Chain A
Amino acid sequence: MKTTSDNSGDVRLSGISKTYGSFTAVHPLELTVPEGSFFALLGASGCGKTTTLRMIAGLEEPTTGTVRLGDQDVTHLPPYKRPVNTVFQSYALFPHLDIFENVAFGLRRRGIKSVKKQVEDMLELVQLGEQARKKPHQLSGGQQQRVAVARALINHPKVLLLDEPLGALDLKLRRQMQLELKRIQTEVGITFIHVTHDQEEAMTMADTVAVMNGGRVEQLGSPADLYENPQSTFVANFLGTSNLIEAEVDTKNGDDIVLRAGGGKLVLPEARCSAPTTAGGKVLVGIRPEKISLTHADDAGEIPEGRNRLTGKIADASFIGVSTQYVVDSPVCDELAVYVQNVERDGRLVPGADVVLHWSPAHTFGLDAAQSLLAGTVGSAGTEEEVAA
């Protein structure tokens, strides 16, 4: 995470937690969101991301810990006294007020008399100047969403909180709004904290993403960093797809670790391994599907030296235009996913064909083998033990 010398607008959560009876929604959490950044809290439903957001907004009182905005401790301030505004999941626009009055609501509550100019400018920013006198239910989902953003932004909050703001929109509109929100954030320079369960959305929009699981922050970093260097199986599986192969540490060779998997050897740069490596110990080897190349077994001799290799048989292939996605059965791993760009398609790569999978060792990452392989995949959230690792 980037550090700024001037931290007057940073959001700092220290030791913040929330329990409901015996259920812990958020475990004590340390988090600093630098001023002016676009920060995403990413996780499956029930991971505590929305609760964290609501504690910043003041809609939930934390069980322990403090919330600070810059130098101000706002932990016990009611929402209406916090310089923070929220874009709610289903927008929560006031149905009895027109768009103009919805946007003007916050200004009027703070006793500002001449709101016309500001409201008109704000509606212009979100391209809704024409709709000012309509009621919320007369607008489309995307327009309502923009009203919700305008209604919050007009107050120039120190932090804008977005609670799954695009969840109700269809895919195409969501893509469009992602870019729109990013544009607005760049334009106004306000800190955005965005809660989402859509990893693609988080990666497209945010400067920094915190992946949450089971009430804890599993990993925090830039989207590229999280994608390339996941520290846990949860992150590896939740952001995109990962192939995870169980392997045993064989020897160390300079900066690299040599591992045994099945009959073959795999090389992993030590710097990219987040797990302790002692000879004979287990490690999970991870590789992203698009980093793997496929070569028909007959041409195995043409593969350059120094690449990690596995053998297998194509179980399934689906053509999706830009790429072809293969599922390969291999002795070390049942279903390896491989994405191959459709540049030069090899006609022999059809289900049933014997193939060699190979990739550069530099693209390999290593994870602690004491975690569930399936954490973060569809239908399985990580359990407490895995998170604690």
Chain B
Amino acid sequence: MSTLTEAPPPLAPAEPAKKPPRKRGRFTPYWLLLPGILWLIVFFALPMLYQASTSVQQGSLEEGYKVTWHFATYWDALSAYWPQFLRSVFYAAAATVLCLLLGYPLAYLIAFRAGRWRNLIMILVIAPFFTSFLIRTLAWKTILADNGVVVHTLNSLHVLDLTNWLGWTAGDRVLATPLAVVCGLTYNFLPFMILPLYTSLERIDGRLHEAAGDLYAKPWTTFRKVTFPLSMPGVVSGTLLTFIPAAGDYVNAELLGSTDTRMIGNVIQTQFLRILDYPTAAALSFILMAAILAMVTLYIRRSGTEDLV
């Protein structure tokens, strides 16, 4: 324990760096962005521009199309096909609500109660993706077939009387009715609801449930006041991931529906591939995009999820 009488001199101040920081490093992020940006330009921005120009062209396949800034195509398309637009929104909304009602309990179970079965159930949720979307939708044709078990059971339970009265089904069949299309949409997009719900539920700290219980909240109140609000990010992304593709879907309406259940996706497909009226098809696509964008923006604003941590 010797006493220091003199503090050691401080280290000589470092020479100020003469070389400016290397320039190259500053551009690294942009180089890393480049592949993605190129991809977006080639496969997203250019096709969009092309579509936009198509939508204001006039002409025919034989004579060729010319850009004439004919915006009336938009108005004509909308006035001709507004029922299909409305139907698309309605079917997609119904499927989204059904997905939420089916998916939430399942996601909750996987996140909080499944224990060691968690991974297995998650695989089962994702398993349908291993087969083709088309095959699975075609399988529903068999399931809902007019002389199948499902229709028989529903008939003998008089459920079809109810759905007939509601206008969801017609006659003694399910296939080729709105109900079949909504069922198909629900089935096909259910995993897109479950996965984000599961992710946000799984992130909730279990001690928050304990804390709520400790503060006199009954289990149901704990769910209403703590679990559900904290899972809102999952609810919002799940509903978006379900609603957006469902609104533009045409496979389910094509395979499970009839001419009375045509959605806007079917119209666009027909315009493009059968009638070959490219301007109308392009205009319809843009209207659909704008409508979805508007609805989604409004929805996110209303749900106020940006406030959640």
Interface residues, chain A, with chain B CB atoms under 8 Å away: 57-59, 78-80, 84-86, 88-90, 92-96, 105-106, 109-110, 135, 137, 151-152, 155, 317, 319, 350
Contacts and interface: CB of A to CB of B under 8 A. Distances in A.
A95 B203 CA distance: 12
B309 interface: yes
A79 B211 CA distance: 9
Contacts of A137: 309
Contacts of B230: 95-96
Contact of B210 (A92, A96, A109, A151): A92
Q: Which of B205, B214, B230, B232 has the most CB of A within 10 A?
A: B214
Contacts of B308: 95-96
A86 B218 CA distance: 16
Given A89-B207, A96-B230, A105-B212, 5 more contacts: A85-B215, A88-B207, A95-B308, A105-B215, A106-B216
Interface in B204-234: 205, 207-208, 210-218, 221, 225-226, 229-230, 232
A315 to B, nearest CB: 15
Contacts of A79: 210, 213-214
Contact of A59 (B213, B217, B226): B213
Contact of A96 (B214, B217, B221, B229): B229
A96 B214 CA distance: 18
B1 A90 contact: no
A57 B214 contact: yes
A147 to B, nearest CB: 12
Contacts of A84: 214
Contacts of A319: 1
Given A94-B226, A96-B230, A137-B309, A110 B216 contact: yes
Interface string B95-109: 000000000000000
Given A94-B226, A96-B308, A135-B309, A80 B1 contact: no
A106 B221 CA distance: 12
A106 B229 contact: no
Interface of B: 1, 205, 207-208, 210-218, 221, 225-226, 229-230, 232, 308-309
A11 B196 CA distance: 45
A171 to B, nearest CB: 25
A92 B229 CA distance: 15
A92 B207 contact: yes
Contacts of A350: 1
Contacts of A92: 205, 207-208, 210-211
Contacts of A94: 208, 211-212, 226
B214 A85 contact: yes
Top 4 A-B residue pairs of the complex, sorted by shortest distance between their CB atoms: A106-B215, A92-B211, A109-B216, A92-B207
B3 to A, nearest CB: 11
A58 B214 CA distance: 8
A155 B211 CA distance: 13
Contacts of B221: 109
Contact of B211 (A88, A110, A135): A88
A317 B216 CA distance: 56
Nearest to A136: B309
A88 B309 contact: no
Contact of B216 (A57, A80, A89, A93): A80
12 contacts: A59-B213, A79-B210, A79-B213, A80-B215, A80-B216, A88-B211, A94-B208, A96-B232, A105-B215, A106-B216, A109-B217, A109-B221
